């Protein structure tokens, strides 16, 4: 076996054994700021690597805007949240990190409340945000 082939095998094994966190980057969000939005659920995608809540928000100027709220993946939410926890039409209050591009209307969820029945979920310090 040549040295090149051996180096290639060792390098591949090292890469496969390394945890890949590239998609967990928080660089898209302003983690030093928080926003609170209130809106009606349009859709809830319970999936990996990240779940999403899409909400229609009435902006301060009266216009309606669709927000994409990024949450943890279903494997992290299992036992607390199910695919049917949130339904279209649910009124939610969400707090989280705003997206760097305000026009994209993205939020990284830190907490969510459904006032009609008291449902609430809050990120706990030390929890993985991925």
The CATH T-level fold of domain 23-122 is OB fold (Dihydrolipoamide Acetyltransferase, E2P) (2.40.50)
pLDDT of residue 79: 87
Count the helices and strands in the chain (H runs, E runs). 2, 6
- Give residue 17's pLDDT band: very low, low, confident or very high (50, 70, 90): very low
Q: Cβ neighbours of residue 78 under 8 Å, at least 6 residues apart?
A: none
Residue 129 tokens read as 């945000």
Average pLDDT value for residue range 23-36: 83
Question: What is the four-CA torsion angle of 57, 83, 124, 105, rounded to 10 degrees?
Answer: -30
Letter string b/e over residues 9-44, b meaning 16 or more CB atoms within 10 A of that residue's CB: eeeeeeeeeeeeeeeeeeeebeeeeebebebebeeb
């Amino acid at each position: 076996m040549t040295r090149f082939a051996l180096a290639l095998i060792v390098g591949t094994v090292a890469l496969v054994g390394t945890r890949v966190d590239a998609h967990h980057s928080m660089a898209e969000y302003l983690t030093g700021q928080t926003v609170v939005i209130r809106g009606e659920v349009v859709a809830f995608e319970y999936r990996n690597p990240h779940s999403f809540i899409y909400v229609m928000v009435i902006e301060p100027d009266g216009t309606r805007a669709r927000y994409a709220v990024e949450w943890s993946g279903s494997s992290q939410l299992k036992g607390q949240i199910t695919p049917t926890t949130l339904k279209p039409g649910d009124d939610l209050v969400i707090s989280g990190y705003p997206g760097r591009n305000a026009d994209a209307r993205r939020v990284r969820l830190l907490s969510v409340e459904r006032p009609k029945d008291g449902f609430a979920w809050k990120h706990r310090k030390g929890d993985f945000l991925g």
